[in-house]
Amino acid sequence: MRNRFAAPQKGLSVQRGSGHQAHVTDSRLDVLAIGDAIVDVIATTEDVFLTEEGLPKGSMRLIDAAEATRLYGLMGQARETSGGSAANTMAGVAALGGKVGFVGQVAKDQLGEIFAHDIRALGVEFTTPARQSEVPTGRCLILVTPDGQRTMNTFAGASHSLTVDALDPQQIRDAAILYLEAYLWVPDTPRAAMERAIEIAHSAGRKVAFTLSDIACIARRRDSFLDLIAAGAIDMLFANESEVKALAGEPDFDAALVSIQDKVPLIVCTCSEKGAVAVENGRRVMVPAVWVDKVVDTTGAGDLFAAGFLAGQARHAPLDRCLRMGAIAAAEIISHFGARPEADLKALMQ
């Protein structure tokens, strides 16, 4: 089987132009990400279980604490690792030798300690103070079917309580690229923090990258995303085929890509077994998917694709090389359980 990639608000002040001139040589960090700080709980299951629970295969849904407890009780033996889309991406960039940081909110509890320990152990700068709150650290219950598809059930928990006060403006200025995930753009409080981070990044001449994360996010915030793009707040947009079509409101992928590509300087889109495509200032580049013997778990495929691509960007690699690095990283992640690399990504890139 071939690799299958997982794949502004009004009043937002954007100063763009200088952001396209940012260079890694004048930055302390290659990439700083803001996203959900959650712990992944991964278990295998059969398709019949998804049917019985009314869970569309490959989907993501937000759940409350009670549903998280109920569903966890029905899951089989599970693995727990720190997760979150943007956090996974930063783990991948770090594995490739990049200098990265992550901003995300955890609670002062056991899962919060697990998250902080895991991400720091991977070489990711994580300085966001844990929050004393009755709301616990978030977790994502991931059900993986025999075909490798993952169905995610996310209890956001403390991650959605991230505020503007949790930001370190200097840390944002220190990063060549600010990377934001759509999962955290949906709720109001963390969205305000991300809007402020965009302003800080662009005023410092930095680039802003944004990942659409999941089609469910577009269903809830499509107009907001389009406003963000129209305001010129995004320098680099990551998506998969279904997300691009949903954002553009077009049933045809090529038509959807054309409708979006002129609105952002760089759009990067994964296309499952067909590979990936990027359009930069009107120039389109495509690469094929990377062959894997067996797709085990697609969790984090899109996250690691973004990691490979961003690592290439940090090295000023050509666009096709950035895409190829993304494809290699995604292929590694779908060959095993979990959303963090197990093989030596640096060696694979050779």
27-37: per-residue pLDDT in tens?
999 999 999 99
User: What integer pLDDT is reported at residue 299 of this predicted model?
Assistant: 67
Question: Residue 109 pLDDT > 70, yes or no?
Answer: yes
Residue 79 tokens read as: 């693995």
64, 243, 238, 208: CA torsion to nearest 10: -70
User: What integer pLDDT is reported at residue 134 of this predicted model?
Assistant: 84
Q: Which amino acid is at 71?
A: L
The answer as to CATH 2.40.240.20 being correct for domain 29-38+83-136+157-348 is no
User: What integer pLDDT is reported at residue 313 of this predicted model?
Assistant: 95
Give the DSSP letter string of 11-53: T-----SGGGG--GGG-SEEEEEE---EEEEEEE--HHHHHHH
Q: Worst-scoring range by mean pLDDT, 10-24, 121-135, 255-269?
A: 10-24
Beta strands in 131-174 (DSSP E): 137-144, 150-157
pTM recorded for the entire structure:
0.85
d(CA 285, CA 44): 36
Q: Worst-scoring range by mean pLDDT, 112-116, 117-121, 133-137?
A: 133-137
Residues 104-116 have a mean pLDDT of 93
Q: Worst-scoring range by mean pLDDT, 117-126, 194-203, 293-302, 315-324?
A: 293-302
CB atoms near residue 236 (< 10 Å): 24
Where are the domains positioned within the chain? 29-38+83-136+157-348
Question: Residue 22 pLDDT > 60, yes or no?
Answer: no
Residues 189-198 have a mean pLDDT of 97
d(CA 251, CA 241): 10
Average pLDDT, the chain: 88
Element (H, E) at 322: helix 319-333
Confidence grade of residue 300 (pLDDT, cut at 50, 70, 90): confident
Q: Contacts by 280-287 with C-beta closer than 8 Å and gap 24+?
A: 280/319, 283/319, 285/319, 285/320, 285/323, 286/323, 287/320, 287/323, 287/324, 287/327
Element (H, E) at 305: helix 301-314
69: Cβ–Cβ under 8 A, 6 or more apart, which residues?
none
User: What integer pLDDT is reported at residue 345 of this predicted model?
Assistant: 83
Whether 290 and 1 have beta carbons less than 8 Å apart is answered as no
Residue 289 tokens read as: 């998917």
User: What integer pLDDT is reported at residue 339 of this predicted model?
Assistant: 67
- CA 150 to chain CA centroid, Å, is 15
What percent of the chain is predicted at pLDDT more than 70?
A: 91
Residue 49 tokens read as: 């279980």
How do 276-280 and 236-240 pair as beta strands?
unpaired
Residue 291 is classified by DSSP as B
Collapsed DSSP state (helix, strand, coil) of residue 147: coil
d(CA 180, CA 183): 9
Q: Which residue has the tokens 């045809």?
A: 252
Residue 295 tokens read as: 């797709």
Whether 153 and 185 have beta carbons less than 8 Å apart is answered as no
Residues 319-344 have a mean pLDDT of 84
User: What integer pLDDT is reported at residue 297 of this predicted model?
Assistant: 65
